[in-house]
Structure 1
Amino acid sequence: MNTVPPEDMFRVLGDAMRLRTLMLLRSLELTVGELAQVLGQSQPRMSQHVKALQEAGLVRRRKEGTAVFLRLGPPARVQPIFALLDAWAETGGETPLFAADRARLKAIRADRAAEAQRFFERNAWRWDELRRLHVPDSEVDRVIDAALGRRPLGRLLDIGTGTGRMLEQLAARATAALGVDRSPEMLRFARARLAERGITAELAQADMYALPMEDGAFDTVILHQVLHYAHHPEAVIAEAARVLARGGTMVVADMASHDRDDFRRRFAHARLGFTDQAVLDWLTALGLEARVVGHLPGELTISVWAAERRPARISAVA
């Protein structure tokens, strides 16, 4: 981390546009163009503000394909600033501009979500076919089985269940199985599929960022080809970890990092895959014991990661 004297740090933050930029990036990774749109700036002017914030270590760039996303700098650098701003807001000192920026940011979130939703609605009927373009289902199933072992799965949650294929594969090993998805069209296909095959499982509409379940409610949690649709994948993993019981297992299967930038347009992907290090870091930061299970090369490589939450310790009786 570069060391910037406090006086230089406050000089950088003395521009209201830079403070507003930090507050926006606190909620969502954004491109320079999106920041310019929300803040009513030209892209060249916005780039100057971003450069100053980057030199102060407050903002970092993340390149993905041809796109460059901006995110906050290290927590040790930015959290004291947010703590100060939050304390100021509690005394009634928050600038109205922050609230107005958040409202405009909602429009960008809505645009992104609507684009993905339109894709799901158009392609729900051939969803499984699209997923098989990368690696055959049987190969992915084999590695997921290896990650889970042969133990009973207990209470099973499939986040982003799509057409219910994971429930079809795993529900028989669970004491109860639930699949959730944001798309009503996907859930309609999942219900028909599971009913046709005689699979006993529940389905419900839910947001992967805010699951309507209690902490520790599930023994097994699956995230299969879900994260690349998330603009905040670490937040999705954190929510999945929240509902994972002690002694439980989470399995994440998704694309390895790639450079197929056309997938954003063709398939509404928000992220171009993930490195092992990124996923393992997110999982271990949540107190889980994480590992790489395997990589399956195809048109794109599919990676499988697993994590366990340690069982509660049993105190010895004296």
Structure 2
Amino acid sequence: MSGTLETQKLVTALKAAAESTRLRILLLLAAGELNVKDLTQILGQSQPRISRHLKLLVESGLIERFRQGSWVYFHVSDRSDGGKLVRRLLEAVDSRDPVLRRDSERAEALKREREAAAQAYFRNHAADWDRIRALYVSESAVEDAIVNALAGPPFKLLVDLGTGTGRVLEVLAGRYERGLGLDVNQSMLAYARSKLKTAGLTHAEVRHGDIYNVALPAGAADAVVIHQVLHYLSEPAQAVREAARILAPGGRLLIVDFAPHEIEALREEQAHERLGFESEQVAGWLADAGLGSPEILSLAPETHDDRQQLTVSVWSARKPDAAVAAHQPQNLEWIGQ
């Protein structure tokens, strides 16, 4: 993308942005993806009014929309000319403005509320987690796909983001010299530690960690796995960027999650924030994070049971060797600290 717009398109885009509510919407969507309900809660305005503003912003090319089940999300794309224009315009906005600060605080509060609900669900179902995952598609097939996608010599350091029960560290036990699982939920971590100890996996450990702000230096990991985590997150693209940051040049990122579906009950019953992901959407996140085009594998359910109509997608991408300076050998002693 050139980052430039034809004169008429530029005039249309500027007119669309030149309204206080729409400017507030652009600021919120530049920080993350939101739906109409989210925006009505944050801005305190009616749904019809917010919908009209969003329609105008989409038509002017400043934002993009995508559907997940019955919900539609909006965001500012880093790849479109309109999105690049939005970010240039927002650089001139005074973030100290009290109205804008309040919007940002409300958006963060909404995000924390949803993630707290997800964490409560995890705490209540930690011991049943592997069984719950197996309801949708053969877990053995998914695990075989994970192992095959990361075939080759063992990695010096493999990081499992949102490790949950630590199952990925078990499945890939022979594929790394040191394995580190990170999760924000202490109940999950306690259960994972017990499982790893029982399995005798002394070269793997789990720790408390934030998937949005991983306490590892850039380029520390040779492989990163995000297994069935993104659909619980308010900001999945941010998690992908953070995973790419900690990858060494030539390192591999593996994402496992659901393809798009319409099982709305999963939002309430199992705390799903997103109803699956289009491959093009995930590929866009990977590109924005500086990773190469992914290899994609789809694993369809084997039965026609209504509970098993979810297809699992596996995205595998590599960080180009030239993305950052030559990778220096990592001192892994800090892992045991």
Q: Please, what TM-score do these two structures have when normalized by structure 1?
A: 0.90
Equivalence for 1:85: 90
Which whole-Å CA distance do the structure 1 matches of 2:93 and 2:286 have between them?
Answer: 33
- Does the 8 Å CA contact 1:177/1:202 hold for their aligned counterparts? yes
**What are the residue-to-residue correspondences of 1:13-52 with 2, within 5 Å?**
13-52=17-56
Q: Which moved more, 1:183-192 or 1:294-303?
A: 294-303
Given the superposition, is the C-alpha separation of residues 94 and 14 from structure 1 closer, same or farther in structure 2, using an over 3 Å criterion? farther
Aligned residue among 99, 124, 127 for 2:129? 127
Work out whether 1:156 is the aligned partner of 2:158. yes
Match of 2:319 in 1: 309
Structure 2 gaps of 5+ residues are: 302-307, 327-337
Contact 1:32/1:46 (8 A) holds in 2: yes
Q: Secondary structure at the match of 1:290?
A: coil
Q: Is the 8 A contact 2:62 2:85 kept in 1?
A: no
Q: Write the mapping of 1:202-281 to structure 2, written as runs, cut at 5 A.
A: 202-281=205-284
Out of 45, 65, 72, the residue aligned to residue 68 of structure 1 is 72
The verdict on how the C-alpha distance between 1:7 and 1:296 changes in structure 2, with shifts beyond 3 A counting, is: closer
- Residues 7 and 292 of structure 1, relative CA distance in 2, 3 Å threshold: closer
Q: Which moved more, 1:177-186 or 1:289-298?
A: 289-298
Q: 1:295 aligns with which of 294, 298, 312?
A: 298
1:268 is displaced (CA, Å) by 1.0
Alpha-carbon separation, structure 1, partners of 2:60 and 2:268: 34
Counterparts of 1:20 and 1:84 in 2: how far apart (Å)? Answer: 12
Q: Residue 280 and residue 81 in structure 1: after superposition, are their counterparts in 2 closer, same or farther (change >3 A)? A: closer
| Contact preservation (8 Å) 2:181, 2:205 | yes
The offset of 1:180, in angstroms, is 0.2
The CA RMSD measured in Å over matched residues stands at: 2.2
Distance in structure 2 (CA, Å) of the matches to 1:3 and 1:275: 33
**Do the aligned partners of residues 77 and 161 (structure 1) sit closer, same or farther apart at CA in structure 2, a change above 3 Å counting?**
same
Q: Is the 8 A contact 2:13 2:82 kept in 1?
A: no
Tell me how far 1:146 sits from its aligned partner: 1.2
SS of residue paired to 1:272: coil
Q: Sequence identity of aligned pairs in percent? A: 39
How big is each residue's C-alpha offset from its partner over 1:125-182, in whole Å with a ceiling of 9 and x where there is no partner?
A: 1000001111222211211111111421221111111001111122343221100011
Q: Is 1:216–1:242's contact at 8 Å kept on the other side of the alignment?
A: yes
- Whether the aligned pair in 2 keeps the contact of 1:156 and 1:171 (CA below 8 Å) is no
Contact 1:4–1:56 at 8 Å: present in 2 too? no
Compute the displacement of 1:239 (Å): 0.9
